[in-house]
A and B are shown apart, each in its own frame.
Chain A
Amino acid sequence: MRKIILIYLPYANGQFREAGLELVEKARELTDGLDWEIRAAALLPGEGAPAAPLPSISKLYLYKNTSIYDVNNSAAVLTALCEEIRPEIFLIGATAEGRAMAPLIAASLTTGLTADCTKLYFDETEELVQVRPAFEETLRASIKTRTRPIMATARPGAMILNESRESTEIPELIAREFPYINSLTQLSVDRIPRTGIRSCKILVAAGGGIQNKEDLEPLGAFARSLGGELASSRKLVERGWMPRERQIGLSGFSTKAELLITIGVSGSAQFQAGIHGVKKLIAVNNEDTAPILALADYPVLMDLNELIRFLRKESFDERNIQAS
């Protein structure tokens, strides 16, 4: 029997989320030329399924689910599916939902789980190696799992993928029912208005090298003068200086900005995981050992205090700027 990679496809507003589709792409890349089978599972709130072609997936399990936000229920569904089809590998996109349900499934199956992988590859025996940033700063760990299924999550946008292949293949659809396990009572659901920062073309990111909260003000004005927005690394979010939705990195968002200018960002593994897609990187730091400088198209050494003083003095006229 062929070994199976199972992928959970998170679904929202009539389509599959990017986080799941990226993993399909990854699984295809992993098994290219090898004798593996890729299957996927999704939980849908209503009837019907999205008709989008899913390249390389042989079977798609569709569960009608009445409470899409209750991860206890979703985890029970997927645990049962794993027990039935016994996949070798089970990949889950690290959305808020995926990050919550993956541990529930892993513990129920008594198997290993690796969070937020930035790289997945097969060793010479087709055993999965999972790479993730570890311990905040500059360490990266390669991990193997001795139990099955091997479970891993990956943040949307955190993995480098090859160009996707055009395909019109449609998988075999398998509709399923699953009894809802009523553990929680849902009282209300409120949409979160999103800031446009995730899709911003120009970003200035402030990092731990910024010494005073007030210094963020001239940096914000500078970002807007370029037609961009101010983002940050995790350190400033943890200091409470920047809101979480503006955090770039593994535990924040991934950006594909045309231009990213980092000011005082050291460039930890967890920050680097969020900037693979950036087209042009200007990194400013006052220490020449900051890892970000090695990645930058334009590494710049500068006294940050001097820069802040300069930016404060410049009076940016935001009306003259046309965001392209």
Chain B
Amino acid sequence: MRIAVCCKAVPSQKVGIDPHTGNINRSEAGCSVNMYDYAAVETALRVKDSFPDTEILVFSMGPEGAGEALREILSLGADQAFLICDPAFRGSDVLATSLTLAKALTLLGPFDLILCGKQTSDGDTAQVSGELAARLKIPYIPWVTNCVSVSRTEARVVSEMDDCLVTWKTSFPALMSVDPRAFTVRTASLTGKIQSRRKEIPLLTRALLELPEDYSGAGASATRVIRGEKLAVIKGKTPARLTPTAFHELALSAADPRKAVQS
């Protein structure tokens, strides 16, 4: 089997906004793997536990520094990681990102299963996985909280919808967005860590992906941040310094005004 896992390296420190473009300035910050992606990684690793000939390829789109964050996933047992990286990709919104990812996955595919994390901890939109599935024209299973079984030809998974859990059977190819509750990721072995150091993480540039110039990045994005602003610090009431006892009284009277009158 061949599995693709899509991951995002997210800024691990405080970020700033570029005053000219209104976009987030990623170059200042260090990167780590988006915590929501680990469940997707673990799902792939478990399939490989059952079918050792499974090949796991990891894809991430981001600045050059993001490559090192992917090494962690290699140390856990993924076979190969690719960083989709080109100055031309800068400023990609969900539409442009899904297009670029779809191109990379098509080029290095076909895959039986494509796995994404439920959302990212920075953008928080949870939209890339769905758009990617639509681009690749394969069935999408959102919010997978339980991976019941995976065979060489089909998967049974539980998807959490608004007020119910739906169990689906799907043949391959399919794309799933995996909720962190599905699996907790394993820890890397020492051998895994050493082996991951030796691996190259190839860059997939615009030229390698054979993408026309206006096909990705800010130019191909449908949405544009016209303004990014810090939450306005409206000067509210001056905070009171209270002792725990005074706070407790405040809480009690707020919860039950009658009690406050009596006391």
Seen from chain A, the residues whose Cβ lies within 8 Å of a Cβ on chain B are 10, 12, 17, 69, 71-72, 75, 95-97, 99-108, 110-116, 129, 133-136, 138-147, 183-192, 194, 202, 222, 226-228, 238, 244, 250-251, 259, 261, 269-270, 272, 280, 282, 284-285, 288, 291, 293-302, 306-307, 309-311, 314, 324
B237-258 Cβ-contact flags toward A at 8 Å (1 or 0) = 1111111110110111011100
Question: Given contacts A145-B223, A310-B244, is CB(A71)–CB(B140) below 8 Å?
Answer: yes
Q: Is B100 an interface residue (CB 8 A)?
A: no
Question: Given contacts A184-B141, A310-B245, is CB(A115)–CB(B126) below 8 Å?
Answer: yes
Secondary structure dominating the interface of B: mixed
Contact across chains for A288 and B239 when beta carbons are under 8 A apart: yes
Contact across chains for A96 and B143 when beta carbons are under 8 A apart: yes
**In whole Å, how far is B10's beta carbon from the nearest beta carbon of chain A?**
9
Nearest B-chain residue to A324, judged by Cβ: B256
Q: Is B204 an interface residue (CB 8 A)?
A: no
Report Cα–Cα, A320/B33, bound state, in Å: 48
Report Cα–Cα, A199/B183, bound state, in Å: 30
Q: Which residues from A are CB-within-8-Å of B255?
A: 202, 226-228, 259
**In whole Å, how far is A209's beta carbon from the nearest beta carbon of chain B?**
14
Q: Which residues from B are CB-within-8-Å of A135?
A: 15, 24, 122-124
Among A17, A110, A183, A228, point to the contact of B95 (Cβ < 8 A).
Answer: A110
Report Cα–Cα, A228/B256, bound state, in Å: 11
Question: Given contacts A102-B130, A107-B130, A300-B239, is CB(A187)–CB(B167) below 8 Å?
Answer: yes
- A-B contacts, 20 listed (Cβ < 8 Å): A75-B134, A96-B162, A97-B161, A102-B127, A103-B129, A107-B95, A107-B135, A112-B93, A112-B222, A135-B15, A139-B17, A141-B22, A142-B228, A146-B222, A186-B167, A202-B255, A226-B252, A259-B255, A261-B251, A295-B234
Q: Is B235 an interface residue (CB 8 A)?
A: yes
Question: Given contacts A135-B24, A140-B231, is CB(A111)–CB(B95) below 8 Å?
Answer: yes
Question: Given contacts A95-B162, A134-B24, is CB(A296)–CB(B167) below 8 Å?
Answer: no
Q: Which residues from A are CB-within-8-Å of B140?
A: 71-72, 100, 104
B110-126 Cβ-contact flags toward A at 8 Å (1 or 0) = 00000000010111111
Report Cα–Cα, A261/B242, bound state, in Å: 14
Report Cα–Cα, A310/B235, bound state, in Å: 30
Q: Which residues from A are CB-within-8-Å of B94?
A: 103, 106, 112-113
Question: Given contacts A112-B95, A228-B255, A299-B237, is CB(A190)–CB(B228) below 8 Å?
Answer: no
Among A72, A272, A295, A310, point to the contact of B248 (Cβ < 8 A).
Answer: A310
**In whole Å, how far is B138's beta carbon from the nearest beta carbon of chain A?**
8
Contact across chains for B142 and A107 when beta carbons are under 8 A apart: no
Question: Given contacts A106-B131, A192-B160, is CB(A184)–CB(B139) below 8 Å?
Answer: yes
Contact across chains for A296 and B236 when beta carbons are under 8 A apart: yes
Q: Is B165 an interface residue (CB 8 A)?
A: yes
**In whole Å, how far is A312's beta carbon from the nearest beta carbon of chain B?**
10
Nearest B-chain residue to A284, judged by Cβ: B247
**In whole Å, how far is B165's beta carbon from the nearest beta carbon of chain A?**
5
**In whole Å, how far is A292's beta carbon from the nearest beta carbon of chain B?**
10
**In whole Å, how far is A62's beta carbon from the nearest beta carbon of chain B?**
20
Q: Which residues from A are CB-within-8-Å of B134?
A: 75, 103-108
B216-235 Cβ-contact flags toward A at 8 Å (1 or 0) = 00000111111111110111
Nearest B-chain residue to A129, judged by Cβ: B226
Report Cα–Cα, A133/B227, bound state, in Å: 12
